[in-house]
Amino acid sequence: MKILRPLRPLFASFILLTAVTGIVYPLAVTGIGKIAFSHQVNGSIIEKDGKVLGSTLIGQNFSDPKNFWGRPSGAGTFAYNGLASGGANQGPTNPALKTAIEDRIKALHEADPENQLVIPVDLVTASASGLDPEISPAAASYQVQRIAKARGLKVDQVRDLIAQHTKEPQLGLFGEARVNVLELNLALNQVTKQVTKQITKQITK
């Protein structure tokens, strides 16, 4: 027992630190997060009429010409797989990267053959996570003509939506201006519904 006596403070410190860092601290941080940042803590999920539409933190595979397309995904065997986050890790001299970019350029041109603008790089290259939910304002602007035509909207209406949903760099210094694709497409759906209602009213008068 005399041998163990000097070790008692060590065991007591170990148990105390385990309780504080393994139980008390995580519970406190989680509790504060749920109270002060409940939306973020719960995954930044967007719901409508009880249906989950997606998360603002993870991109989705929008492929309909009526929607804004996000940044390509390099995560796993299917796009935007949250369990396989990670880029393709292909260097600029890798033939596979060149082929993937050419295929993406082809898809953009096929969806909007009249568009002669320079394609922003984030529309043809994946991010490091492969899950990027945002694109640059330039990437959104590139798609305006296609979307306006497909939805029967005015170009200015679509441009206004981009401006309204563009997030500036944090504190004006950190990061780049960006647009969340899911939020933008949901706003686009709302504008389309409003325009459709207006047209219907005019027809029925």
pLDDT digits (tens, 9 = 90+) for 16-51: 889 889 888 888 888 787 776 666 667 788 878 778
The token pair at 57 is 């933190």
Contact 117, 139 (CB under 8 A): no
Asked whether the CA dihedral 90, 91, 97, 102 is positive or negative, the reply is: positive
Least confident of 13-17, 80-84, 144-148, 184-188: 80-84
pLDDT averaged over the chain? 86
Residues 68-88 have a mean pLDDT of: 79
The predicted structure's pLDDT at residue 117: 95
Here the tokens at position 188 are 């686009």
Q: Quick check: 165 and 180 in contact, CB under 8 A? A: yes
Locus of tokens 């009213």 = 201
Rounded CA separation 2/20 (Å): 29
The average pLDDT across 75-86 equals 74
Q: Residue 48 — φ and ψ, nearest 5°?
A: -145, 125
Range 75-87 burial, b when 16+ CB lie within 10 A, else e: beeebbeeeebeb
Q: pLDDT by residue (tens digit) across 102-118?
A: 999 999 999 999 999 99
- CB neighbours of 133 closer than 8 A, spacing ≥ 6? 55, 56, 57, 58, 59, 60, 70, 180, 181, 182
